[in-house]
Every structure is written in C-alpha cells, then in structure tokens.
Chain A
Amino acid sequence: MEKTVYIKKSAQIFDAIVVGSGITGGWAAKELTEKGLKTLMVERGRPVEHRADYVGEGVEAWKLPFRNAMNHQLVEDQYSIQRQCYAFGDSSKQFFMNDRDYPYSTPEGKPFSWIRGNQLGGKSLLWARQSYRLSDYDFNANLADGHGVDWPIRYKDLEPWYSYVERHAGISGSKENIPVLPDSEFLPPFEFNNVELALKKKMEAKFTDRKMIMGRCAHLTKPEPHHLEQGRLQCQARSECHKGCSFGANFTTQSSTLPAALKTGNLSIATNAIVHSVIYDPKTNRAKGVRIIDSETLETREYFAKIIFLCASTLGTTQIMLNSTSERFPNGIANSSGALGHYLMDHLYGSGASGRIEGFEDEYYSGRRPTSPYIPNFRNVKEKHPNFLRGYSLSGSASRENWSSFANKDGFGADFKKQIQNAGSWYFSLGGSGEMLPRYDNHVSLHPTLKDKWGMPQLHIDAGFTENDYKMNEDIANTAAEILEAVGAKDIVKRVIRKNEDRPFGLSIHEMGTARMGRDPKTSVLNGNNQTHDIPNLFVTDGACMTSNAWQNPSLTYMALTARACDFAVKQLKLGKL
C-alpha cells in the first residue's frame, strides 16, 4: 500500500468519514470512494498489510515455541477473554485485542465475552465467513410476534444489494430454493464427504421439513475474472484463515474491499486513531466530524467530513455514540429515542449433540473444508412451537477422530500408535445457532467513572438469557439428538446451555441491535436507510443497526445494508439533502 494513503493530521474536509475498517467499514470505504467521495477511513488499531503482515500463516506447529499454545501468565494477564474464541492461538493472537488495555464491566453473574479485533481489517480477518441471506420470515418476525419493533425494510429492499455484494465478495454455495433461506449468487459449493451424503439422504427421507445443504461461505471455490484481477486466488482448504490468507481466498477487508477502495485514489486512512466521539453542530443539526485519540501519542485530533458512517462494530459504534454528548443529545448522539445501547442480541450457540457413525472405515476426505453441512431453520415456520418463539439452524460435519481424540481412550503402546495412524471412528456433530428476542433489558451503557488508559469511558455490558433462550437450547439439543438417532448414530451425547456461565453472552461474536433500525423515531435510532432519525448525515451500518437477529450468520446482511446505505447517502448528498 502506498504510504501516502496513511494520514495523521489533516485540516481537509473530507466528503466522508468511515469509522472502522472491518467488514462494514471496508464496504463503506469501497462504495463511497467508488462513487467519487474523498473518504477517510479511521481505524483504532495498527495497519495490517495483506500478505506482509500475516506472520502466523504457514508456520508449522513444530516451529512455534509451544505448538500454538501460549504462555499461561501472558494469556491470563492479557487475553483472558479473547482466549475463549475458537480462533485464538499463538499464530492468530496478533489479530485480537489485548484485554488488559480495553477493560469493560459486567454485573455479577452475567458474564459477557467481548471478542474484538484491533487492526486495519478488524474482525474481517477473524470471522467464520458463513454467509446467508435473511428472508421475509426474518424481516416480518418482530411484527408477527410483537417482540421488538418492525423492521423498516423487507427482503425485496435488500435483495439486489445481497446480489451486489455477493458477486464482489465471492460466496460459495448451492441453489436450493428454500423459502426461509433465499439463494445467493453462488460460486460452486464445497463438497460433502461420503458419510455426510449418506446421512443427508437418510435425514431428508425421514424429516420432510428439513434439508441438509452445504454451508455457504465467503470463499473462492472457483474465482471469477474480477476476483483474479484483484489478486484473489482459489481456496486451498488449509483452514488457516485466522492467520491471514495470502491467497486472498476468503473475504476480508484486505483481500477484497480495501484494494477496490484504494484503486479509486479517493481513500485516506488514519490508523492508531481511537474515535472518542462524533462532533455535533447544533446550528446545522449535522455531524461535522470525529474527535480521535492517537493511541501511540495520546494526542487528540479532529477530522471533518460531510457525512459520517459508523462501522466500528456493534458495541464499538455504540460506545462512541453514547460518548458523543451535547446539549441536544445529553444521552448520546442521535439518541432522542433512548433506544441507543438497548436491545443487545447475540446468537445461541453451544447446544447440540454428537454421535458415532458406524462403518465407513474405508472412507476419508482430503483437505480441511472451511465450512460444514447446514440445516436451515424449520422451527416456527409452518407450525408454532409450543415452547419458544423464533428459530435456529443446525450445522456440523462428519469427520474421523484424529490423534487428539485418543487421549480419552484407554490403551498405549505400538497398537495404540497404530490405531491413531489408522484414523478413528466417524463422528457427526450438530450444533445450533438460535435466534434471540430483542429485549430492552439487554443493554450497554457508559460506566459512570471507569475509563480505559486512553481516557475513553468504559462500557458496562448488562446482558443475559431468558426462558425463551433456554427452551430453544433444550430443543436444539433434543432435535440434534433426534436427527442423529434417525440416521443411525451411536453413543449420542447432548449438550445444552442452561445458564449464563455455561457459555457467556457475546461469545457467538454476533452481538447486534444496540442502535436499531425502525419506522418510528421514538423507538429506534435508525431509519430504513441506516440513517439516524435525528441527524441526516450520520449513518450506522454495522451490527448495531439490526432490528432482530434472525438465526443466520449476520455479516452478509451487514455488507448488503452497508452498500445500500452508501448508495442512498451519496444520492442524498448530491441532492444537497445532507
């Protein structure tokens, strides 16, 4: 990347400021710059160059000091939360935030795990890359059962934008015509293995309301010319995604949106710039810019622009907005509704079941597939479930036990070694991803006294599960076990999340909803174009905008909402309305 792209001080009034550089920040920067706007991307963390800074990539376990494990004290002191993320390890730790530097508080008995990236590219470098469209079942959900406010948009509003972002990002999957899960613009899907195919056939014959499809993910299974042109290559099935992918085979800011934005010549980037607050001009009722704290020098600076996109992650954006106070907005900018910080949601993960599959000893697979079979939601679609509202997906794969499974088996010696070499039994596991209801009580606020080392007020996160969640968890485990039993699995083990401590809120890393979209400015922060009801030139397009959380992985929807909001904003700007 050319050095001149990076700026420190600037008196320039940009056309647009984008706060954050993750999935939505990258998309906003791409869209705004491609539409001709001089855009400044403001990132709290350090710069990360595609390829050059993927220091953990391709390093074999035996070349790492502790084979991807880490010093115990270091982890305790600096990564006590981040370590809970499945993707955290010695080779990927550089893409996780240091917990010691970014403290937050939670009430007793209500843990919240806030997993954060702290670099250019944000969590786009860490995400699980599962990519699914929402449907009108989801956009109608709040209206239908009265929980939360109605979405101000419907599927038809977002449909062309899903297609638009999918073509650029590259989403692999199969056309299925499933009403609850509209098809995307697809690259070829990853393959099932033979055991999965056998189980899929059995399950679909037994349960006519359920379908097992290949998980849709942002990987280039067969790159198209425009991907190759960007320097993106085919996925090699290494499953090293979280260390950075030099093939550019998965969607990240670095592989996909940043090169596009840079190509326009309209992008500037300020890194190590922690946004403290949005600057508000009461005379014009516009956001004028942002105040930042330089994370290296502790200096404060201001950047100015005509429009501002907040894409700093759900809670990052919310923290900035709550900290942007003025006479007009004493409780946070664009918060005349009082909804800011409330209705925090995450997905219900952790419940499910697994079982052993007999036979198939002659079968195996080659490569480490970065996705797995997926059963889209079938609950509360046609019939109402007696115990809970909303739905869930199930996902999981069939694989053979590897060496790590053998510690729990009796035996040792040459035969034991041989058994490991011959690979173990097949296992099939299914885990749920469940929808949560938007609740006012699940909320974040600024701590009245505590600040971090840069002087930002800390976030206090107060979120917990409810009966609806626990009953859904129960059904996820029972249903997963029922499916496993129907396909002939043995030794079925169920897992049910029954309390906050079993699996903290937030650990699904799908936190969303704290600056929700809605039709009524009295009960929501954003309108149907991700524009704040209160301030015309202030937009929020990250997960904070979500009115309900559906059961699908959300990032693809964030991308589509961002591209759509950018289109709206630029048109409005040109009409002189912002």
Chain B
Amino acid sequence: MPHNKNHADSTPFETEHPRRTALKQMALLCGLSLSAQSLDVLAATVKGTMPHVTKFFTPEQLQMTGEIADLIIPTTDTPGALAVNVHGFLDKYLAECVSKDKQQQFLAGLKKMNSVAEDKFNKTFLACTHKQHIQLLTAIEKTDLGFTADDKSFFTYFKSLTLFGYYTSEIGATKELAYLAIPGGYHGNFPFAKVGKAWALN
C-alpha cells in the first residue's frame, strides 16, 4: 500500500500545535497576519470545543470527520483538509446535496469506526493516538479488525468527499495543485516538469 508510516509519523500532527501551524500557513497564504490569540480561537473552533453551528453533524461527528479528513489529506508544505475546513464543507454538503440513504451510510460509517476503536483500543476514535488512527484507517481499507466490505465502501465514499472538498477549495486547487482558469489554448506536447504538479482541473 502506498501509505508510508515513517513519513506520516513526521507530519505536523505529531508536533505540539499542529492546528496552529496549519492555520498559520493558511493565514500566510491568504495574506493575513493573525495574532497568537486569534490563532488559538480559530484552532479551538476547528477542534470543536467552540460552539459551532452545524447543519448535519453533531459536534463530535464534525470533529471526527475533520480528524479523518486530515488523516487522508494532512498538512504538509501546504495546508491539509482540516485547515481548509473540509469538515465544515462536508457538514453543509451532506445536509443538502445527498440522499437520506447516503446520509445514513455516512453516519453509520462513523459509528462503526468508533465501535472498532472501542473494541480494539478501549477508547473513542477521537481519543485514539495518531498511530491508532492510522491503524484504524489501514484496517478499514484492508477490511481488517472487523471492518466489512460495506465499511470499506463507506471509507471510499468518505475519501471521495474529502478529495472533492479539499481539491475544489481555493487552497487545494491553487496551492496544492496547479490552477489555470484561462489556459489560452491546448498544448499536447507539454512536459510534466513544466508545471511540476497536477492540474486542479483536468
């Protein structure tokens, strides 16, 4: 599997203030200068400890969605899913844009992840360590630790929504990937090195 544990272990998640780092990066990208205090407020908001008006998730579900999304697309040299508020987008998206069946599938998937976390580690998903999170996500992809094929298809759905939310965000499209609103024409003889990363719009 393509996931590289050593690399993942060195992501800012293991550092003291990963969300502050992510937010700082985001703020820099947006040309904002944030005080330490406002960073804490923002970090608290994404952590779910601030009152947060949700349309679909409970605060816990929102936080869990944010954690899983960020495990899929973590902050690296560009902000990750949590920093661009993919979970906030998914809260709106799942509330409005999908069928009741899909909504139920999503919530059942979160519940299952929690129950496997309880069985395996005796704590909720959110209380698990980063290493345990990685074990759980690896297991759901391999239908291990009691995860079923249905659970895996939930995770595939989760992943597709995360990628959608992240790569259609301004940062995902324009900072992580290459974004060209008006290409000016089509060039078929074009070395990858010339842009160096994938286009946001194919």
Contacts and interface: CB of A to CB of B under 8 A. Distances in A.
Given A400-B202, A414-B74, A416-B72, A369 B7 contact: no
Interface stretch (B25-33, B42-50, B112-120, B155-163): B155-163
B201 A368 contact: yes
A366 B190 contact: yes
Contacts of B198: 400, 402-403, 420-424
B76 interface: yes
For B7, B134, B168, B170, which residue has the most chain A Cβ atoms within 10 angstroms?
A: B168
Interface residues of B, number: 60
A415 B6 CA distance: 10
Contacts of B182: 236, 238
A368 B183 contact: yes
A402 B199 contact: yes
Interface in B13-50: none
Interface string A35-73: 000000000000000000000001011100111111110
A361 B192 contact: yes
Contacts of A102: none
Contacts of B72: 412-413, 416
B156 A365 contact: no
A382 interface: no
Given A414-B7, A417-B74, A407 B156 contact: yes
B111 interface: no
Contact of B1 (A65, A368, A411, A423): A411
A67 B187 contact: no
A337 interface: no
Nearest to A412: B72
Contacts of A399: 202
B47 to A, nearest CB: 20
Contact of A236 (B4, B156, B183, B193): B183
A363 interface: yes
Interface string A172-209: 00000000000000000011111011000000000000
A12 interface: no
A284 interface: no
Given A58-B181, A196-B188, A363-B190, A413 B167 contact: no
Contacts of A62: 168-170, 173
Contacts of B183: 236-238, 366-368
B14 to A, nearest CB: 12
A365 B137 contact: no
B131 to A, nearest CB: 12
A300 interface: no
Interface stretch (B58-66, B92-100, B121-129): B92-100
B74 A363 contact: no
Nearest to B199: A402
A61 B73 CA distance: 19
Contact of A407 (B163, B197, B202): B163
A419 interface: yes
Question: Which of A369, A406, A416, A419 is the most central at the interface, judged by chain B CB atoms within 10 Å of its CB?
Answer: A416
Given A236-B184, A364-B190, A70 B2 contact: no
A67 B168 contact: yes
Contacts of A422: 197-198
A409 B141 CA distance: 9
A72 B99 contact: yes
A362 interface: yes
Contacts of B192: 361-364, 423
A487 to B, nearest CB: 17
A62 B92 CA distance: 13
A90 B171 CA distance: 21
A366 B186 contact: yes
A234 interface: yes
A367 B184 contact: yes
Contacts of B163: 403-404, 406-407, 420
A297 interface: no
A367 B185 contact: yes
Contact of B4 (A234, A406, A413, A424): A413
B71 A413 contact: yes
B66 to A, nearest CB: 14
B86 to A, nearest CB: 11
A206 B195 CA distance: 34
B11 interface: yes
Contact of B193 (A362, A366, A410): A362
A61 B1 contact: no
B9 to A, nearest CB: 10
Nearest to A65: B92
Contacts of A71: 96-97
Contacts of A420: 163, 167, 177, 198
A366 to B, nearest CB: 4
A72 B96 contact: yes
A406 B183 CA distance: 24
Contacts of A411: 1-3, 141
A60 B170 contact: yes
Contacts of B157: 407
Given A60-B181, A236-B183, A403-B163, A193 B168 contact: no
B151 interface: no
Given A69-B97, A412-B72, A413-B134, A421 B177 contact: yes
A408 interface: yes
A235 interface: yes
A471 B185 CA distance: 39
12 contacts: A70-B97, A71-B96, A197-B188, A236-B182, A363-B191, A365-B187, A400-B198, A410-B2, A414-B4, A417-B73, A420-B177, A423-B192
Lowest 9 A-B CB distances belong to which pairs?
A: A407-B160, A367-B183, A191-B188, A193-B188, A367-B186, A423-B198, A411-B2, A61-B168, A369-B186
Given A238-B182, A362-B192, A411-B1, 7 more contacts: A68-B168, A367-B186, A368-B186, A400-B198, A403-B166, A420-B167, A420-B177
Interface of A: 58, 60-62, 65-72, 190-194, 196-197, 221, 234-239, 361-369, 399-400, 402-404, 406-424
